[in-house]
Chain A
Amino acid sequence: MELEEMKSLWSDLSIQVEKQDKIQKELLMEITKQKFRNKLNSVRIPEILGSLVCVGYAMYFLSRFGDFELWYNQVFALVTIFIMIVLPTVSLSAIKGMRNLRIDSESPAAMLEKFTKNKIRFWKVQRYGMIFGGIVMITILPPLAELNGSQEMISNPTFWMIYIPAGFLFMYLFSKWALKKYKGVIDSSEKMLQEIE
């Protein structure tokens, strides 16, 4: 098919789409309002809930920090507090970077570049999030056990013999899945960036 034929085909198509039934005007506003409600529900709630859980744990450990008698639990609690505050902050900022692009003021070339770079950043944050998530899995338990008076549970070697291998198995399977996705997204995004340049 030559380009002139494509153009003529496109022009026929344009006439055709102009003739077809149009969505009723009142339904257009209904779509817009519903979409707005959907966005509020689906976008913000998981992010806010996740961050609240993290900050909640961090605040809990901070408020009870004086109750830790064991030095290693103080260290574990500090590590947990740090991760629980930094991780959601960085993650939310990466998501914000992708979502806050001004759809009507950027050109598609600039939009594609910014969006792709932000997407790469988001997935890098996800990767670090996964690693730090694994660390938290280990560091959160001993301080929690001390605060709840379950010191015996974590003093029992059998508990760690089950918890650590099970934790590592979970992290291994989860990381394998997530890294595969990560690699795919990053590769295609970088390819996209090369194509823009």
Chain B
Amino acid sequence: MNKEEEFVNLIHQNQGLIYKIVSIYSREKAEQDDLYQEIVYQTWKSFDNFKKAAKPSTWLYRVGMNTAITHMNRSKKQLQLVPLQDVKIQFSESGDSEKEEKIQQLYAQIRKLNLLDRGIIFLFLEGKSYEEIAEISGISVSNVGTRMSRIKAKLKSGITTQTN
């Protein structure tokens, strides 16, 4: 398998992961599409290091989160969306409207957190342990614990306020 095929397979297998990163770091459709394309591009740019990575499973999380961090706060004029008619990035919507509403509430509350905390709660919701979160995000395990307590409180109060 050549490099292009390997890259395309990696992205294809992890599209769901990229969708979720994009959704917690940006809200507007154009921004989401732009960030999605940027993550794909940055993954390609660093793809030679993928095989050398100590833990390939965490490599894409880092690339995705780091791209989102450095790509945030761009004005709409700075978006560099590739205008390909056939490329439609569909962000998931379930048939269940109540569940969909809750998902949107959760996204909205996560987007209120600072950039690092968004990544931490994302990894937590992805089922990562505190040790894995610490390793991927680059902070100590105890710091993850402290941050998680704060994040939980913020999310809980935010979602309760939104519901009321």
Contact = CB atoms under 8 A, between A and B. Distances in A.
Interface of A: 1-3, 6-7, 9-14, 16-18, 20-25, 27-32, 34-36, 38-39, 42, 98, 101-112, 115, 188, 192, 195-196
B69 A104 contact: no
16 contacts: A1-B106, A1-B159, A3-B152, A6-B106, A7-B125, A13-B92, A16-B92, A17-B20, A22-B12, A30-B84, A35-B41, A101-B66, A102-B46, A104-B59, A104-B62, A112-B69
A28 B12 contact: yes
Nearest to A1: B159
A77 to B, nearest CB: 36
Secondary structure call for the B interface = helix
Contacts of B40: 28, 31-32, 35
7 shortest interchain CB distances as A-B pairs: A107-B138, A17-B16, A104-B46, A109-B138, A35-B41, A10-B125, A34-B82
A39 B80 contact: yes
Contacts of B139: 107, 109
B31 interface: no
Contact of A16 (B49, B70, B94, B152): B94
Contacts of A12: 94, 99, 103
Task: Describe A's contact surface by its main secondary structure.
Answer: helix
A102 B69 CA distance: 12
Given A1-B102, A10-B125, A22-B15, A108 B119 contact: yes
A88 to B, nearest CB: 21
B70 A101 contact: yes
Contact of B63 (A23, A24, A28, A103): A103
Contacts, number: 157
B53 interface: yes
Interface residues of B, number: 62
Nearest to A109: B138
B141 interface: no
Interface string B110-146: 0000111101000001110000000011110000000
A20 B20 CA distance: 13
A196 B125 contact: no
B30 interface: no
Contacts of B125: 6-7, 10
Given A16-B94, A27-B86, A35-B38, A104 B53 contact: yes
A31 B62 contact: no
Given A38-B82, A104-B59, A192-B114, A32 B70 contact: no
B32 interface: no
Contact of A35 (B49, B82, B117, B138): B82
B156 interface: yes
A35 B156 CA distance: 39
B94 A31 contact: no
Interface in B4-57: 4, 7-9, 11-12, 15-16, 19-20, 37-38, 40-42, 44-46, 49-50, 53
Contacts of A3: 152, 155-156
A103 B137 contact: no
B87 interface: yes
Nearest to B110: A6
